[in-house]
């Protein structure tokens, strides 16, 4: 267990160990709980969640039964991209607290057997980072500029970008700077927003600084990192033009030169070497790579511990599509003995209750080729929309979701997810069965809303603060009724307080499922075996423990596989599995 902490003194960082240095496989079957800090719990009364609020709710997380927290960005940032534009990677942003509060969080969480992981953003910095400020002041050819990707422009006067790359958010991926003498100068690369200049990973200084950051947090007892844009960082030396016609917002293809260059694996090996100096620590990478062989390369024993896979979250509520997502996710890791990961939502997609309650139950924001944008690829978010020449259309109203239907399906999918081998990521509020919030236009804060000139509503609907107790907003989230996003009055039924008292609530279902997952030996095995099932249904069992999970996606009850029933997402109908429901049997 955690050894004694060296007290902080005279500005020297506290030194702590990870929760359990003797356990180096905990991540293979862990349940991670993603905290979107500004929406979890506000203890200082400013209407925005904070680290003190997380500490205050650790008892709840212990009761839920999760293994580890994943904190969305809390490092110092101008917040041009909700924290993914980092100006100081070795400090806490004052919006959330300070280092002393963070140290307290580590101690308190570890005392409850809960690990703490945090977002890490190595692909780029904020344009307010001291390095970039120095680069602008130093001029072309300087060591300061060599930390980023600066290039001379093309054309007679360098007026054209160095290549045709576009930003993930739309528009050029290059911005031209004004040199110290006032003349138009070089261009810098930003694969994401212009406030997020890409680092030059061919410069040894860049990794040296990242190593300082890794050790800074690991020495404070952090149990690992979620690495943003883990398939980014490395760029081809000649920066060749890309196929702009195939580019889409918030997505990339496997042949996209902006991402997934082989040199990135050397970077991950260096990161892993640092992580391995801290027994019990682990990292998970955001890997937006479709090809399973290329995806698996990131999970080799000397690279990432885990890689995010969003196929299950992207699948419509259809038995064939769900089975395909599961099989593909397992295939993606088997060749390297990797561990699959599963999630149904996060802060960048519609909540599963709303998604499954929409007609056809298609995940939000499908692209032209039928793919849904990877939810965490949009972490480095906020599209830079170009000003349209024609009149800007008004935003389409959000489609109406059948919340009752969506809740039934979300509960069923939770049992499917918890029955699978590997690690699971729960987005805060999913355990309460929260739907998207219906927000008025004047409440929207996602920069997508403004930068799209009010044609895209953004993701605020899935980021509304959590309801904790009471019968009216802010439901115990804050003492301040003016929360950063308004909490719907209708959410009284979704408070933690109300659901803890209801044995049939979604929270009670989650608690029971998590408890059974840990206590029952039937959950053993790193693989699954498929059963025959009626049309519109699926059934599988764990390869060693032989737990059976059955899912009915149809509108009629169906018979159950043989076995002892231990949990259902909905009551049986005449002894049969209800529509839009799942069951566990042993």
Q: What is the pLDDT of residues 144-167, one digit of tens each?
A: 999 999 999 999 899 999 999 998
Tell me what the mean pLDDT of segment 485-502 comes to: 98
Q: What is the structure's pLDDT at 248?
A: 58
Q: Which long-range contacts (CB under 8 A, 24 or more apart) does 5-14 make?
A: 5/103, 5/107, 5/221, 8/100, 8/103, 13/99, 13/216, 13/219, 13/220, 14/103, 14/219, 14/220, 14/221
Point out which residues pair with 33 in neighbouring strands. Answer: 69, 426
Average pLDDT over all residues of the chain: 90
Q: Does residue 384 carry a pLDDT above 70?
A: no
Q: Please enumerate in sequence order all residues whose Cβ is within 8 A of that of 515, keeping only pairs 6 or more positions apart, or say none.
A: 65
Tell me what the mean pLDDT of segment 25-51 comes to: 98
Asked if 75 contacts 69 with a C-beta cutoff of 8 angstroms, the reply is no
Asked if 162 contacts 239 with a C-beta cutoff of 8 angstroms, the reply is yes
CB atoms within 10 A of CB 83: 25
SS3 call for 517: helix
Q: Does residue 170 carry a pLDDT above 80?
A: no
**Single pTM value for the model:** 0.90
The tokens describing 143, both together, are 């060591």
Torsion of CA 280, 41, 99, 132, to 10 degrees: 100
Q: What is the pLDDT of residues 424-447, one digit of tens each?
A: 999 999 999 999 999 999 998 887
Nearest-angstrom CA–CA distance, 81 and 119: 13
Q: Does residue 411 carry a pLDDT above 60?
A: yes
| Chain position carrying tokens 């959330």 | 96
Q: What is the structure's pLDDT at 453?
A: 76
Residue 50 vs residue 395, higher pLDDT: 50
Task: Name all domains of the chain by residue range, CATH numbers in brackets.
Answer: 26-123+204-513 (3.20.20.80), 130-189 (3.90.400.10), 528-585 (2.60.40.1180)
H-helix or E-strand containing 185?
strand 184-189
Q: Does residue 483 carry a pLDDT above 60?
A: yes
To 5 degrees, how large is the angle CA 379–CA 381–CA 387? Answer: 165
- Among 27-41, 248-262, 367-381, 453-467, which stretch is predicted with the lowest mean pLDDT? 367-381
Point out which residues pair with 552 in neighbouring strands. Answer: 537, 581
Tell me what the mean pLDDT of segment 55-62 comes to: 98
Q: What distance lies between CA 10 and its chain's CA centroid? A: 36
Q: What is the pLDDT of residues 267-296, one digit of tens each?
A: 999 999 999 999 999 999 999 888 899 999
Torsion of CA 568, 574, 578, 583, to 10 degrees: 30
Helices 204-218 and 264-275 sit at what angle, rounded to 10 degrees?
A: 30
């Amino acid at each position: 267990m955690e050894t004694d902490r060296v007290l902080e003194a005279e500005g020297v960082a506290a030194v702590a160990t990870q929760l359990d240095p003797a356990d180096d496989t905990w991540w293979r079957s862990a349940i991670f709980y993603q905290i979107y800090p500004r929406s979890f719990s506000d203890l200082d009364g400013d209407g925005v969640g904070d680290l003190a609020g997380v500490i205050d709710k650790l008892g709840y997380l212990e009761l839920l039964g999760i293994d580890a927290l994943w904190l969305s960005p809390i490092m110092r940032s101008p917040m041009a991209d909700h924290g993914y534009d980092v100006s100081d990677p070795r400090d806490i942003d004052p919006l959330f607290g300070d280092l002393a509060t963070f140290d307290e969080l580590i101690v308190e969480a570890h005392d409850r057997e809960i690990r703490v992981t945090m977002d890490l953003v190595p692909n780029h910095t904020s344009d307010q980072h001291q390095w970039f400020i120095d680069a602008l002041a130093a001029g072309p050819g300087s060591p300061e500029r060599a930390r980023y990707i600066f290039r001379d422009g093309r054309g007679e006067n360098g007026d054209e970008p160095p290549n045709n790359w576009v930003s993930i958010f739309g528009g050029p991926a290059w911005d031209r700077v004004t040199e110290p003498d006032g003349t138009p100068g070089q261009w810098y690369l930003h694969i994401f927003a212009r406030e997020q200049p890409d680092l030059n990973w061919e410069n040894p200084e860049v990794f040296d600084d990242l190593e300082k950051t890794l050790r800074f947090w690991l020495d404070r007892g952090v149990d690992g990192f979620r690495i943003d844009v883990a398939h980014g960082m490395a760029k081809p030396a000649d920066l060749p033009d890309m196929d702009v016609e195939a580019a889409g917002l918030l997505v990339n293809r496997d042949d996209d030169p902006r991402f997934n260059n082989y040199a990135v694996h050397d970077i991950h090996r260096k990161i892993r070497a640092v992580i391995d100096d801290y027994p019990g620590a682990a990292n998970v990478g955001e890997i937006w790579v479709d090809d399973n062989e290329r995806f698996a390369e990131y999970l080799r024993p000397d690279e990432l511990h885990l890689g995010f896979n969003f196929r299950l979250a992207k699948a419509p509520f259809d038995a064939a599509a769900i089975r395909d997502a599961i099989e593909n996710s397992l295939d993606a890791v088997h060749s390297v003995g990797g561990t699959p990961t599963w999630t149904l939502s996060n802060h960048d997609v519609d909540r599963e209750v709303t998604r499954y309650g929409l007609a056809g139950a298609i995940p939000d924001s499908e692209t032209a080729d039928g793919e849904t944008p990877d939810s965490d690829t949009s972490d480095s978010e906020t599209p830079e929309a170009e000003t349209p020449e024609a009149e800007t259309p008004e935003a389409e109203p959000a489609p109406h979701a059948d919340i009752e239907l969506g809740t039934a399906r979300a509960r069923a999918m939770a049992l499917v997810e918890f029955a699978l081998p590997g690690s699971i990521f729960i987005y805060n509020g999913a355990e309460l069965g929260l739907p998207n919030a219906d927000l008025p236009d004047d409440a929207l804060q996602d920069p997508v809303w403004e930068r799209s000139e009010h044609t895209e509503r953004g993701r605020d609907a899935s980021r509304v603060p959590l309801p904790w107790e009471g019968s009216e907003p802010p439901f115990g989230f804050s003492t301040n009724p003016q929360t950063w996003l308004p909490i719907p009055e209708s959410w009284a039924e979704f408070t933690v307080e109300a659901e803890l008292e209801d044995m049939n609530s979604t929270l009670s279902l989650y608690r029971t499922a998590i408890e059974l997952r840990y206590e029952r030996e039937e959950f053993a095995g790193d693989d699954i075996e498929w059963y025959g099932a009626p049309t519109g249904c699926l059934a599988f069992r764990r390869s060693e423990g032989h737990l059976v999970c059955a899912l009915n996606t149809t509108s009629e009850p169906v018979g159950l596989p043989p076995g002892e029933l231990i949990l259902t997402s909905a009551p049986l109908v005449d002894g049969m599995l209800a529509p839009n429901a799942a069951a566990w049997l042993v």
